[in-house]
Chain A
């Protein structure tokens, strides 16, 4: 298992390098000269030249890229043009809320999706199956912001049940109520695809010989479904969750913007709107690395769940 994880890490390396290169290119191709932005509109030519020299912008591109990787490894992502704070400090403040939001969404989506999908598979062809599948197709087709708008309008505003702007703090410090609506918005979108795939996977497994054997042994139906069918059906579902990571991250950016959630996505959108290139670059890089990490974790989980992969 360890060897497989190391192998997977090595395979991820070119992708990581590609991500870093593209993020590096972001600042190279922006229409504005970062040195001029930092120096301000009134700056003299020699001041701009001095800043260019200090930032290394006058050196050849490959050297600049090598220096950029060095800076990233040291955690130096430059300074925000707007707040003049270190980008790494701003990111450090926002990563926690984003992780919290994504975990909250997964905690809602995965159990609900698994339960609904399994139930639909067991009740195949009946009304409940059709209703669940119709809801899941509708869920897959719904824009994240539509769900968010409905929740804000009714749960947040009309019924005043939960807060709908900002984050009141970490969950262990009374922040749970403010997390519920954003996490629900993001989670509800994911329930559909998970339920759909779980249904297909469980249906496939229910026809397998080992399930027939389990039933023939006289095991209770719940045990057969949960321990034999669902456990084996989890493998494609875990893969799907990995594939949905892009969707999860994209959804998180929209959800954070809607709910004024102080995460990386909102930071990125705000930085782009205000042309704060170093912050935008840092935030986009962190989101891309987060995406690679989720996929890596899914692969590791895959090895853990499927002993056949371990043996291969």
Chain B
């Protein structure tokens, strides 16, 4: 068997991935709820990226003559206790919240995926890696956030570390599960038999065949990661004032809940919409790409 022929599994995975990409999109768009969620998430992401252009006011500009104003034509979401425009702050806050979620999911996904795949490929390392994963699982994300904030001080860095550490063990488990399945395939054995290097086997044979499972899982986790990040922000462990971050904005508004409930409820509502859209899209993607993950 030639090495070219042995490259076939990875090549097949790549080509089917490329072929199915348009198919996946078409199937997603056929599902009305998923399409709506995808559109909502795209609009939110675009607004976050182009925040300086989209936001009607400077999110940090205080105006003590306009404190705690309810929603109006001038300020669609009203103003906060220092007269700042809440819509502008929500747009900037969404930027920080989305960024936290993305960084957590991407770094955590890469590290977790690597650990899981290495655990499946090297049986000797499996026990050690999975014990490490067990210890990491013993610390719920909020606790990690609290611990990091206790050590390094509250801030966005503490939240990022917490989100990464919270993502790694779950992804490692899923990646290991998927990789163990691939390890049992004949093409892996054939690759080994003709002396394909470990690096090629791990990357081209194993990783490329596990990527869709890991990707779907990360999409499903994205909403949860945003919830954890905003909860840490709410507890005061994340972004510090005056930085706009949705969880922290909700916490600040809590002090004025009875006088001006919109200050706390609008940022909370924004988190809800983002997470709902992410969850709905994640569910639809799972159904299309990897129904085995369905619960």
Q: Do A and B come from one complex?
A: yes
0/1 string, A110-151, CB within 8 A of B gives 1:
000000000000000000000000000110111111100110
Shortest Cβ distance from residue B161 to the other chain A in the assembled complex, whole angstroms = 12
Shortest Cβ distance from residue B288 to the other chain A in the assembled complex, whole angstroms = 17
> Which of A15, A253, A272 gathers most chain B CB within 10 Å?
A272
In the complex, the answer to whether B271 meets A22 with C-beta atoms within 8 Å is no
In the complex, the answer to whether B135 meets A18 with C-beta atoms within 8 Å is yes
Option from B137, B141, B146, B265 in Cβ contact (under 8 Å) with A149 = B265
With an 8 A cutoff between CB atoms, is B231 at the interface?
Answer: yes
In the complex, the answer to whether B272 meets A157 with C-beta atoms within 8 Å is no
In the complex, the answer to whether B272 meets A152 with C-beta atoms within 8 Å is no
Contacts of A137 in B (CB 8 A): 276, 279-280, 283
In the complex, the answer to whether B142 meets A250 with C-beta atoms within 8 Å is yes
Q: Bound complex: CA of A78 vs CA of B257, how far in Å? A: 38
In the complex, the answer to whether A250 meets B149 with C-beta atoms within 8 Å is no
Contacts of B140 in A (CB 8 A): 245-247, 249-250, 287-288, 291
| Given A14-B131, A288-B138: A146 touches B149 (CB 8 Å cut-off) | no
Contacts of B247 in A (CB 8 A): 143, 145
With an 8 A cutoff between CB atoms, is A179 at the interface?
Answer: no
Shortest Cβ distance from residue B248 to the other chain A in the assembled complex, whole angstroms = 11
Shortest Cβ distance from residue A205 to the other chain B in the assembled complex, whole angstroms = 14
Q: How many residues of B contact A (CB 8 A)?
A: 48
Contacts of A268 in B (CB 8 A): 146
Q: Is the interface of B mostly helix, strand, loop or mixed?
A: helix
| Given A29-B151, A153-B261, A246-B141: A145 touches B295 (CB 8 Å cut-off) | no
| Given A200-B294, A250-B140, A284-B143: A143 touches B271 (CB 8 Å cut-off) | yes
In the complex, the answer to whether A153 meets B257 with C-beta atoms within 8 Å is yes
| Given A196-B295, A249-B140: A284 touches B146 (CB 8 Å cut-off) | yes
Option from B146, B151, B152, B230 in Cβ contact (under 8 Å) with A253 = B146
Q: Bound complex: CA of A275 vs CA of B143, how far in Å? A: 16
> Which of B149, B151, B230, B272 gathers most chain A CB within 10 Å?
B151
Instruction: List residues 132-187 of chain B with CB under 8 A from any CB of chain A.
Output: 134-135, 137-143, 146-147, 149-154
Q: Bound complex: CA of A247 vs CA of B140, how far in Å? A: 7
> Which of B141, B154, B234 gathers most chain A CB within 10 Å?
B234
Contacts of A284 in B (CB 8 A): 143, 146-147, 150
Contacts of A138 in B (CB 8 A): 272, 276
With an 8 A cutoff between CB atoms, is A6 at the interface?
Answer: no
In the complex, the answer to whether B261 meets A19 with C-beta atoms within 8 Å is no
In the complex, the answer to whether A292 meets B138 with C-beta atoms within 8 Å is yes
Shortest Cβ distance from residue A33 to the other chain B in the assembled complex, whole angstroms = 14
In the complex, the answer to whether B294 meets A146 with C-beta atoms within 8 Å is no
Instruction: List residues 206-265 of chain B with CB under 8 A from any CB of chain A.
Output: 223, 227-228, 230-231, 234-237, 247, 250-251, 254, 257-258, 261, 264-265
In the complex, the answer to whether B235 meets A141 with C-beta atoms within 8 Å is no
Q: Is the interface of A mostly helix, strand, loop or mixed?
A: helix
With an 8 A cutoff between CB atoms, is B103 at the interface?
Answer: no
In the complex, the answer to whether B231 meets A254 with C-beta atoms within 8 Å is yes
With an 8 A cutoff between CB atoms, is A241 at the interface?
Answer: no
Q: Bound complex: CA of A296 vs CA of B279, how far in Å? A: 29
* Smallest Cβ-Cβ distance to A189: which chain B residue: B227
Contacts of A273 in B (CB 8 A): 236
Binding site for A on B (CB under 8 A): 131, 134-135, 137-143, 146-147, 149-154, 223, 227-228, 230-231, 234-237, 247, 250-251, 254, 257-258, 261, 264-265, 268-269, 271-272, 275-276, 278-280, 283, 294-295
17 A-B pairs besides A14-B134, A143-B227, A145-B250 with CB distance below 8 A are A18-B131, A26-B147, A26-B151, A140-B279, A143-B268, A144-B231, A146-B272, A150-B265, A196-B295, A200-B294, A236-B295, A249-B143, A250-B140, A253-B146, A254-B234, A269-B146, A288-B143
Binding site for B on A (CB under 8 A): 14-16, 18-19, 22, 26, 29-31, 137-138, 140-146, 149-150, 152-153, 157, 196-197, 200, 236, 240, 245-247, 249-251, 253-254, 257-258, 268-269, 271-273, 277, 280-281, 284, 287-288, 291-292
